[in-house]
Amino acid sequence: MAPNDRRCVSCRRVAPKSAFLRIVRLHPTHTVQLDQGMGRSAYLCPTAACLEAAQKRDRLSRMLKVKVPASIYEALWQRVQSPPAPVASTPARGDTPPIASPASLGSQAASSPAAKPGTSPACEQSAPQSRSPK
């Protein structure tokens, strides 16, 4: 085991510590935080499986000999669910409203007989009348 190798508290996998999430119990306040700080440390694979196992058995609390607050687990879940990004301040929230998908629209149009070209007198005639004049 190399000097920089650490062990995951869940699956016992050994890897360089840069490959793990680090949870630190600060000295001497015993505050628990992530990534940085002097104190007792626990390491966890950045995977949902290892985080879930650690949370179920409260392995981090045991390893650090202090109760790990829920906020720490929440922060860890955010790390696991989002891919590791060097720049952490990039909100990747795309606007994708849950409207009908193009696939369902296409199937509706294909199955509708009124969609045939040249056979739509009712629609074209009623459309101008329903418009409000300016």
Contact with Zn ion (CB under 5 A) among 32, 50, 60, 64: 50
Does the protein bind Zn ion through residue 15 (CB under 5 A)? Answer: no
User: Which part of the chain contacts Zn ion (CB under 5 A), choosing from 13-21, 65-73, 82-90, 125-133?
Assistant: 13-21
Contact with Zn ion (CB under 5 A) among 23, 32, 45, 54: 45
Does the protein bind Zn ion through residue 14 (CB under 5 A)? Answer: no
* Minimum gap (Å) between residue 62 Cβ and Zn ion: 15
Give the per-residue contact string, 94-113, with Zn ion (x = CB under 5 A; - = no).
Answer: --------------------
User: Which part of the chain contacts Zn ion (CB under 5 A), choosing from 49-57, 83-91, 97-105, 108-116?
Assistant: 49-57
Q: In terms of CB distance, is 48 or 109 closer to Zn ion?
A: 48
Contact with Zn ion (CB under 5 A) among 8, 63, 68, 72: 8
Q: What is the DSSP string of the chain?
A: --TTEEEBTTT--EEEGGGSEEEEEETTT--EEES--SEEEEEE-SSHHHHHHHHHTTHHHHHHTSPPPHHHHHHHHHHHHS---SS--------------HHHHHHHHHH-GGGSTT--HHHHHHHHHHSPP-
- Evaluate whether 35 touches 22 at the Cβ level (below 8 Å): yes
- Evaluate whether 36 touches 29 at the Cβ level (below 8 Å): no
Q: Interface with Zn ion by CB under 5 A: which residues?
A: 8, 10-11, 13, 45, 50
